[in-house]
Amino acid sequence: MPNSNLSQARVFYASEFGEIDLPLGELVRDDGSIDLAPSAKRYFDVRQRSGQIRLFAKGYVGAFQIHPSIVVVVQSKAGAQSIARLLTGDRQSLAHLEDEIRSYGHDRATRVQPFEILLWQFLKACEAVISEGLWQPYRRTTRAGPRPAGRWNFAGTARRFFSHGTFHKAVTNVFLRDANTFSNLILKQAIHVALSYRGLVSGVFSAQQEEVLFTMADLLDSLPTGNLIVAQQEVKELLSEGKIPESRGFYAVALPIALKILAGTTPDIQSLGRISDVASFAVSMEDLFEGYLLRVLKDRVGVSQEGLWVEDGNKEGKKTFYEDREEPLMEPDIRIHSAEAPPLIIDSKYKPRYSAEDRYQVVSYALGYDAEQAVLVLPRMFERSGLRYIGKVRGSAGPMLHEYYFDLRADDAEKEEEKFAKAMMSLVTKDQLWQRQSMTASTCVQI
């Protein structure tokens, strides 16, 4: 699909899990086939009805250029405050984001996009980069000549000069600061995306944010553009291995956000190994919702309840499905365990309604972990928020299944988080666990 300027494209709006009709005439090629970007089917279910193309939005929000002349903007149903919470685990940054949202007024806040908040968060992190300076690690280079500066390199001098009878020249090692790093490349590309988005949506940044944006663009402008895919891999390893020096700790804040921004670009653009002049943005609400619930429980359960541990089931909490095979792995979203009670298995699904397969999945995890309690967490769409007991799965080892509906649109987000954490603790704390078992042991459910 050829690149085009997003600011010249027609923009259609839809809400997450909603539907939208597009004019068929603009999307049909001469041979009768539908001209849509390959990535469109990742973010939408596409159907043709009554002379129109109908798109059904999946669990992504953002701006999607699905055709050279058409952009579909999918807006989140969650409140702006909740979106900010989904995107950040840092309380200081969170307060900043909520202030930024409120500064746009009520109408603007109700239409704010998760990607915009991610960009605001990134620019806030870039303030430290501007004040402290770019990370420029030392790189070793060699110099040669009659009187080169630096530390004498005996082996290099002997090989290059002495072996040829030249004794008035030498090779030295010099350590110079170099800003041309994978880390700075990631920051540069994220700034480029922010500039592109600014061209798409007017008024998205405040005057202070624009000053940060243009200052960063000037700082990074002279750096060469490298392979983005390689840079992303290198920076992910750098972060996971904790190799960012303490003196440049602010990079550990800015880089993960930059990676999220770049991960939001469409696969068509990613496959080029660079960011093109036209950027579409996709934010997976499924991933954000899962990470948000994990942070809420780690922040609250670990502090308020000694003897309970919250683990990421995709990392430290995962285990093999079979006893005698290494694959496949079981990776529930969250595992809470203690020394005194069986673990609690939590799996989140960002969708309007659960399916039978969702229940089968969380129950299979619970059986594999010898858990007596399993919870399927969904965002509240229609039901009342809170914990709902479904029933006990048949069999002596059958877990008790629950559902929890988390209200992302709650007026008091702190209260909703506290309510969720307390409900989860009630299922894994020994005394309350025994009480619940006594009340429900005679109830079984067919899934």
Tell me, yes or no, whether 12 lies in a domain: yes
Measured at the alpha carbon of residue 230, what is the angle toward residues 228 and 232, in degrees to the nearest 5?
A: 70
Q: For the chain, give the mean pLDDT.
A: 76
Confidence category of residue 309, pLDDT binned at 50, 70, 90: confident
- On whether both 28 and 124 belong to a single domain, the answer is no
60 in Cβ contact with 92 (< 8 Å):
no
pLDDT score, position 279? 44
Phi–psi pair at 33, nearest 5 degrees: -80, 160
Residue-level length of the chain: 447
Residues facing 11 on adjacent strands: 71
Average pLDDT of the residues in 149-158: 75
Tell me, yes or no, whether 404 lies in a domain: yes
**What is the edge-to-edge ordering of all strands in the sheet holding 151-152?**
138-145, 170-177, 151-152
Cα(150)–Cα(173) distance, integer angstroms: 5
pLDDT score, position 176? 62
Quick: pLDDT tens for 318-337.
777 777 787 788 888 899 88
Cα(283)–Cα(53) distance, integer angstroms: 23
Confidence category of residue 277, pLDDT binned at 50, 70, 90: very low
- On whether both 116 and 257 belong to a single domain, the answer is yes
115: left (phi over 0), alpha (psi -120 to 50) or beta: alpha
pLDDT score, position 87? 64
Q: Examine the fold and report which residue of 44, 60, 75 is the final residue of a domain before the chain moves on.
A: 75
Average pLDDT of the residues in 138-167: 76
385: tokens are: 């928020």
Largest CA distance in the chain: 95
- On whether both 58 and 173 belong to a single domain, the answer is no
Among 188, 202, 194, 197, which residue's Cα sits nearest to residue 232?
188
pLDDT score, position 302? 60
Q: Examine the fold and report which residue of 119, 152, 177 is the final residue of a domain before the chain moves on.
A: 177
- On whether both 208 and 71 belong to a single domain, the answer is no
Quick: pLDDT tens for 61-93.
777 878 877 878 787 776 556 666 676 654 444
Total domain count for the chain?
4
Confidence category of residue 346, pLDDT binned at 50, 70, 90: very high
Tell me, yes or no, whether 1 lies in a domain: no
238: tokens are: 């750098």
pLDDT score, position 270? 34
Q: Examine the fold and report which residue of 279, 311, 327 is the final residue of a domain before the chain moves on.
A: 279
Tell me, yes or no, whether 304 lies in a domain: yes
Among 346, 260, 342, which residue's Cα sits nearest to residue 297?
346
- On whether both 257 and 111 belong to a single domain, the answer is yes
pLDDT score, position 187? 93
| Confidence check: pLDDT of 398 > 80 | yes
- On whether both 191 and 272 belong to a single domain, the answer is yes
Domain that holds residue 10: 6-75
- On whether both 62 and 85 belong to a single domain, the answer is no
| Confidence check: pLDDT of 311 > 80 | yes
| Confidence check: pLDDT of 2 > 80 | no
Quick: pLDDT tens for 171-206.
777 666 677 888 999 999 899 888 877 776 667 788
262-to-5, 163, 281 alpha-carbon distances in Å? 19, 51, 9
Cα(265)–Cα(211) distance, integer angstroms: 24
- On whether both 71 and 87 belong to a single domain, the answer is no
Task: Give 159 or 102, the one with higher predicted confidence.
Answer: 159
Tell me, yes or no, whether 437 lies in a domain: yes
| Confidence check: pLDDT of 248 > 80 | yes
3-state helix, strand, coil in the chain (%, to 5): 45, 25, 35
- On whether both 264 and 311 belong to a single domain, the answer is no
| Confidence check: pLDDT of 423 > 80 | yes
Tell me the whole-structure pTM to 2 decimals. 0.62
Tell me, yes or no, whether 303 lies in a domain: yes
Find all residues with CB under 8 Å of 128, minimum gap 6, and list them. Answer: 250, 253, 254
- On whether both 215 and 236 belong to a single domain, the answer is yes
DSSP state of 341: S
Residue 433's Cβ-side half-sphere holds a number of Cα atoms within 13 Å equal to 19
Buried-exposed string 202-211: b where 16+ CB fall within 10 A, e elsewhere: eebbeeebee
| Helical residues (DSSP H) of 145-181, grouped into ranges | 154-160
174: tokens are: 């010099």
Tell me, yes or no, whether 441 lies in a domain: yes
Worst-scoring range by mean pLDDT, 113-117, 142-146, 159-163, 297-301? 113-117
53 in Cβ contact with 24 (< 8 Å):
yes
Among 95, 5, 34, which residue's Cα sits nearest to residue 280?
5
- On whether both 126 and 157 belong to a single domain, the answer is no
Average pLDDT of the residues in 415-435: 76
Find all residues with CB under 8 Å of 372, minimum gap 6, and list them. Answer: 341, 342, 366, 399, 400, 433, 437
Tell me, yes or no, whether 86 lies in a domain: yes
Worst-scoring range by mean pLDDT, 207-211, 271-275, 366-370? 271-275
- On whether both 291 and 381 belong to a single domain, the answer is yes
Amino acid found at 56 = F
Q: Return the residue matching tokens 């072996």.
A: 163
419 in Cβ contact with 386 (< 8 Å):
yes
